[in-house]
Amino acid sequence: MFSRLIMLFIIIFLNLFLQIFSHEILKYTIEEKLPINTLISDLSKELNLKSNNFFQIYELLPLNKNLFTINNQTGHLIIKSILDREQMCLKRQCSCNLCEIILQLSIKIQDKIIYKIIEIKIKDRNDHSPNFDKQSMIHVIHIKENVPLGYRIILPSANDPDEGLNSVQSYRLDGPNCDDFDVDFFSYDIPYLIVRSSLDRQRLSSYSLILTASDNGKQPRSNSIQLDIHILNINDSIPTFIQSIYNIDIREDTVIGTTILKIEAINDNNEKNFYELLTESPFIIDHLTGQIQLSKTLDYEREKSYRLIVKAYENFIPTYASIFIRIIDINDNPVFIQIKVEEDITLKKQNDKNVIFIQENTLVGTTIAHVILNDLDSFANGNPYLQLQTIEPPLPFIYKLIYQNNFQNIKLYSLILNQNLDRELKSLYNNIQLIAHDSGTPTLHTQLYLILNITDINDCIPKIITNTTIYNINENNSIGYIIDKLIVDDCDIEQNSEIEYYLLNKTDLLIINSKTGQLSLNQSIDFEILNKFQQKNLTTIDLEYYIKVYDHGQPSLSSQMKIILRIHDINDHSPEFEKNHSYNWTYSQSILQPGSILGRIYAYDYDSGLQGLIYYSIRSFHPCLILDITSLGYIYIPYESTIITCSLLSYTFEITAHDYDPINSRSTIQLLTINIDSISINKNNLLPKILPLSSIQQRTILDINTQNKISFIIDITNLNNYTYQPKIFFNNTNLLSCWNISSTGEISLISHPYASSYILSLYIIDEYTNEYLLIKLQIDICNSSILNSCQLYNFSDNRMILIYAISLALIITCICIIVFSLIICLCCGKTKPKNDILSLSTHQQTFLQYNDDYNSEKTESSSDRYKTSSNSTIRDDDHDSACIINGHSSSSSSSNSSSSGIQTWYNQKELINHIYPSSSTYYYDLKLAELLRKNQHPPCIHLNELPTIPQSLSTDYGFSSLELSSSSISSNQHIEICIDQSAEKQLNIKSFISSRECVV
């Protein structure tokens, strides 16, 4: 609905526009044969137009070319050639009755064009005199003396090509006795001699008169002929036409040879008359019969009427008759179509079609072309009109009648653009028919085939069409490497679509072919140079470039696009060890303990990403000294290794630095030499310990005497089982005044502690994967200056592991007691021979002796460190009841502690394996052996309850300490086995062994 309203508004506007500008007619009248360059009108002044306008005129009829011209700048309309109205009439450039030239004026005012019609009437000048046709002159006239008054006789006619008053206006007779006759010219448009007086041959037998034909111009012109009139006797014989004036109408399509009229003259003696045509015409007459026939084709458009003078005679005495023949027009001329375009629109003829080339930016309301219709037929058969047809509607233009001239059968139409054009949507409107119809019967029509070709203007911005704007390029490319060939989409054509490429960045790296758009690299790229800050997690670097494309249209249109060259690092560098670093280290044998960190080596890889990150491996060549290395390069003695004293004073190790490239890994080998200084012994120069991560919350001890020294180093390389670029930070900054931790995990006490235990919240992050972990580390402060202060903490174990160990010990103990009890019950319930009893006693003594010997060896080897765990006491107040310390847990702890000092927080899995020994041998306390030796039938033996495990004093910043700390249970906590012989107590205590059973 909205579009229809817009279309209606456009049509109304166009109608108003045409009424204002196109229907105004400028009329001028000029005389013929004026000098060339005569000014007809100053149109700029007449139309009150300012300067800087452009004037043009067009002739509506092609025959009228080069008659007038106009100054394009000033608008002066001037005569270009001599205008001879009579010649123009003969050439059919104008009507002989009304010579009028019709011009169309177009005035371009800035971006608007207005149209006007100019009618120039050629005014006749009296430049011709009447002229008698000498070949058809009637010089001698014969009249009988007895003719009545008013008798008419045809006179010779004069011809004057001028028009109006300048043509023949009158005839007169001069001479003696001329009053006897008169001349009538106005009755039949031809001169007639009229008898006014009675004629008497005896009185006057002949007249010699002068016949003068005159016009009525400003300067009258005339011409005369000699006229002889002979008066005949009444008895003389003279032919007489039955009808002296004939008027007939014939069609212009009358067939040649058709008899159009038969005239007849009679005489008194009935003699035969002869006939003759005195006027040249397309007709002939039969000399004997007087039949007039058509001898040539008639053409209404060339001659609309004929006047014939017929002479009839018998004996050389003629008489005359006049025949007026009017040609009736038939519709035999189709409408002539002429199409005319403006200067900025081109019209070409292609085969039988007219092609109009119009730019696609032509404004709505612009006149595309003018269509001139002209019909040479009469108005009844002419009066043409235009019809527009197409098989591909709708058309982008309409037609409008702006001028018509009925006298000349001319109509002027305008083809007006009524919608916007877009060549990219539709470039050609084909099969347009301009059909011109006339008004005759039958109707004739003329078809003109028109093609509207929309010419391109540079209205499409060229755009780069590409699948991607990011190009992945590996470093170390070859020079001249072709990246891509850009394709540009420009919906324009020809010159408007000729594209040129331009690189806006000033660079020597990237070049582009200005014609083809081919992108190529002019240099080889080194990723490490681009990565100025050596960021390891930066595996790609984006280089941004701006490419501009522009066409060659007028004006030129352009666009630009950003492309990204994504440079990828490849593994083109091997790890390099620090050259200024010494790889020959010397240590005292005494400080080489399990868990000790000997030092750190460092290698660097200039690549980025995984291929620029390094991990290390170390290979030992001798079993006397086994070393391991973290991915950060810390070389340490594994806790599970055993220091073997060898005679070697130097050990060589092969350290390999690898990168993490999963496809093409590179590595570099560096030899490390460890020298053993057997002479220098400095116990105070202790090495820091490696502290592996085994759980989220861990516990360890730190000697206060190691203040301002690196006490231990956390192995942060096993975050989530694996890390690439780990770093560790304090999460609780309130402890920064006491503790210092490096990003690689080196922890040191930097001031005197104000508490005996600290819980450090540590934040570990892998800067490459951005994975993180929050751990809590409980550090108990000890003082090695106090005897056994730091050793007690060595017995601390992980709480959960301790619980598992105690539970397992209790289960094994219960199973053993039950088994032994069953055996004793079976043995003691029977009456045995004495030798059996002796044999059993001997066996028991041998068994107990074996255990005593074994425990003696164990006790001697660890008496200093495990003194508290091997002591047993017997209450003096009750010799039947003894409280002993079960040595199973202590022995196990002693065995484990002797092999690994801090193994409890290093590897939980290995610890559990040590808690459950594979041997089936069980060890008993010496006091228990003595008790059994004295009383071979002891009373009930039972286990007391497990002492309450104290809870950790952890402050726990945001995390619950649900797991038991490994050091919360000291090594002197044990399981007590009590023997009570009291019968009363035996009833209240659950017994595992009967009072009559023995402990095996």
877-930 pLDDT tens trace: 333 333 333 333 333 333 333 333 333 323 333 333 333 333 333 344 444 555
The confidence score (pLDDT) of residue 34 equals: 93
Q: How confident is the model at residue 136 (pLDDT cuts 50, 70, 90)?
A: low
Question: Any idea where the domains of the chain sit in the sequence?
Answer: 2-123, 131-328, 336-455, 467-568, 573-687, 689-790, 799-988
Tell me the C-alpha distance between 634 and 250, whole Å: 132
Which positions ≥6 away from 304 have C-beta within 8 Å? 326, 327, 329
- Could you say which DSSP state residue 21 is in? I
Region 297-317: mean pLDDT is 88
- Specify the DSSP element, H or E, that contains 836: helix 834-861
What Rg, from alpha-carbon coordinates, does the chain have? 69
pLDDT tens for each residue of 92-105:
888 877 888 999 89
Contact at 8 Å (CB) between 292 and 267? no
Region 414-418: mean pLDDT is 93
The confidence score (pLDDT) of residue 168 equals: 92
pLDDT exceeds cutoff 50 at 251: yes
Phi, psi of 248 (to 5 degrees): -135, 155
Q: Using the structure block, give the residue that is written with the tokens 């055993």.
A: 642
- Specify the DSSP element, H or E, that contains 808: helix 799-828
Least confident of 76-90, 535-549, 860-874: 860-874
Q: Catalogue the long-range contacts made by 345-353 (C-beta closer than 8 Å, 24 or more residues apart).
A: 345/369, 350/451, 352/449, 353/449, 353/450, 353/451
Indicate the SS3 state at residue 418. coil
pLDDT tens for each residue of 839-870:
434 444 443 343 344 344 433 333 333 333 33
Contact at 8 Å (CB) between 426 and 432? no
Q: Which two tokens stand for residue 353?
A: 């079609």
The helix-helix angle for 799-828 and 908-915 (nearest 10°) equals: 10
Q: Exposed, middle or buried, 993 (CB in 10 Å: 0-12/13-18/19+)?
A: buried
What are the residues facing 417 on neighbouring strands? 397
DSSP 621-633: S-TTS--EE-TT-
The confidence score (pLDDT) of residue 261 equals: 93
Q: Which two tokens stand for residue 392?
A: 């591909």
Q: How confident is the model at residue 505 (pLDDT cuts 50, 70, 90)?
A: very high
Question: Terminus-to-terminus CA distance in the chain, angstroms?
Answer: 113
Of residues 902 and 5, which shows the higher confidence score?
A: 5
Of 784, 796, 691, the C-alpha closest to 741 is: 691
pLDDT exceeds cutoff 70 at 873: no
Of residues 833 and 168, which shows the higher confidence score?
A: 168
Q: Exposed, middle or buried, 736 (CB in 10 Å: 0-12/13-18/19+)?
A: exposed
Mean pLDDT for the chain?
Answer: 78
CATH of domain 2-123: 2.60.40.60
CATH superfamily of 131-328: Cadherins (2.60.40.60)
Of 346, 605, 320, the C-alpha closest to 451 is: 346
Tell me the C-alpha distance between 749 and 740, whole Å: 6
Tell me the C-alpha distance between 342 and 367, whole Å: 8
Phi, psi of 763 (to 5 degrees): -115, 115
For the question of whether the overall pTM of this predicted structure is more than 0.75, the answer is no
Given CATH 2.60.40.60, say whether it is the number of domain 573-687: yes
Tell me the C-alpha distance between 998 and 820, whole Å: 8
Contact at 8 Å (CB) between 66 and 36? no
The confidence score (pLDDT) of residue 475 equals: 94
pLDDT exceeds cutoff 70 at 724: yes
Given CATH 2.60.40.60, say whether it is the number of domain 467-568: yes
Q: Exposed, middle or buried, 127 (CB in 10 Å: 0-12/13-18/19+)?
A: middle
Q: Exposed, middle or buried, 124 (CB in 10 Å: 0-12/13-18/19+)?
A: buried
Region 710-733: mean pLDDT is 82
For the chain, percent of residues with pLDDT exceeding 90 = 38
Least confident of 307-316, 441-450, 563-572: 307-316
Q: How confident is the model at residue 702 (pLDDT cuts 50, 70, 90)?
A: confident
pLDDT tens for each residue of 313-337:
887 788 888 899 999 999 988 999 9
Q: Tell me how far CA of residue 679 lies from CA of 336, 672, 673, 674, in angstroms.
A: 131, 22, 18, 15
Region 946-975: mean pLDDT is 32
Indicate the SS3 state at residue 915. helix
The confidence score (pLDDT) of residue 517 equals: 93
pLDDT tens for each residue of 258-271:
999 999 998 877 78
Q: How confident is the model at residue 560 (pLDDT cuts 50, 70, 90)?
A: very high
Q: How confident is the model at residue 983 (pLDDT cuts 50, 70, 90)?
A: very low
Which positions ≥6 away from 805 have C-beta within 8 Å? 797, 889, 892, 912, 915
pLDDT tens for each residue of 148-205:
898 888 888 888 888 888 899 999 999 999 999 999 988 777 888 999 999 988 889 8
Amino acid (one-letter) located at 301: E
Contact at 8 Å (CB) between 452 and 356? yes
Q: What is the dihedral of CA 149, 150, 151, 154, to 10 degrees?
A: 150
Q: How many residues are present in the chain?
A: 1000
Least confident of 625-629, 731-735, 944-948: 944-948
- Specify the DSSP element, H or E, that contains 673: strand 667-677
Q: Which two tokens stand for residue 720?
A: 């989530």
Which positions ≥6 away from 688 have C-beta within 8 Å? 596, 597, 709, 710, 711, 712, 713, 746
Of 272, 461, 316, 300, the C-alpha closest to 382 is: 300
pLDDT exceeds cutoff 60 at 950: no
Of residues 64 and 934, which shows the higher confidence score?
A: 64
Contact at 8 Å (CB) between 713 and 690? yes
Which positions ≥6 away from 10 have C-beta within 8 Å? 364, 365, 418
Tell me the C-alpha distance between 239 and 149, whole Å: 19
Tell me the C-alpha distance between 644 and 653, whole Å: 17
Q: Which two tokens stand for residue 493?
A: 């054509």
Which positions ≥6 away from 306 have C-beta within 8 Å? 279, 281, 282, 283, 324, 325, 327
The confidence score (pLDDT) of residue 642 equals: 78
The confidence score (pLDDT) of residue 234 equals: 84
pLDDT exceeds cutoff 90 at 589: no
CATH number for the 689-790 domain, one of 3.30.70.260, 3.20.20.70, 2.60.40.60, 3.40.50.970?
A: 2.60.40.60
Q: Exposed, middle or buried, 70 (CB in 10 Å: 0-12/13-18/19+)?
A: buried
The confidence score (pLDDT) of residue 292 equals: 95
Which positions ≥6 away from 909 have C-beta within 8 Å? none
- Could you say which DSSP state residue 467 is in? S
pLDDT tens for each residue of 193-225:
999 999 988 889 899 999 999 999 888 999 999
pLDDT tens for each residue of 661-685:
989 999 999 999 999 887 765 555 6
Helices (H) and strands (E) in the chain, counts: 10, 63
The confidence score (pLDDT) of residue 718 equals: 74
Amino acid (one-letter) located at 853: D
Q: Tell me how far CA of residue 27 lies from CA of 41, 102, 119, 839, in angstroms.
A: 10, 9, 5, 164
Region 748-771: mean pLDDT is 87
Region 78-99: mean pLDDT is 86
- Could you say which DSSP state residue 379 is in? T
Tell me the C-alpha distance between 390 and 656, whole Å: 87
Across 108-112, 141-145, 898-902, 910-914, the highest mean pLDDT is recorded for 141-145
pLDDT exceeds cutoff 50 at 797: no
Q: Catalogue the long-range contacts made by 206-209 (C-beta closer than 8 Å, 24 or more residues apart).
A: 206/230, 206/231, 207/175, 207/176, 207/177, 207/178, 207/180, 207/181, 207/231, 208/175, 208/176, 209/173, 209/174, 209/175, 209/178, 209/181
pLDDT exceeds cutoff 60 at 734: yes
CATH superfamily of 336-455: Cadherins (2.60.40.60)
The confidence score (pLDDT) of residue 938 equals: 52
Q: Using the structure block, give the residue that is written with the tokens 């009930």.
A: 940
Q: Tell me how far CA of residue 660 lies from CA of 568, 640, 788, in angstroms.
A: 16, 28, 46
Indicate the SS3 state at residue 98. coil
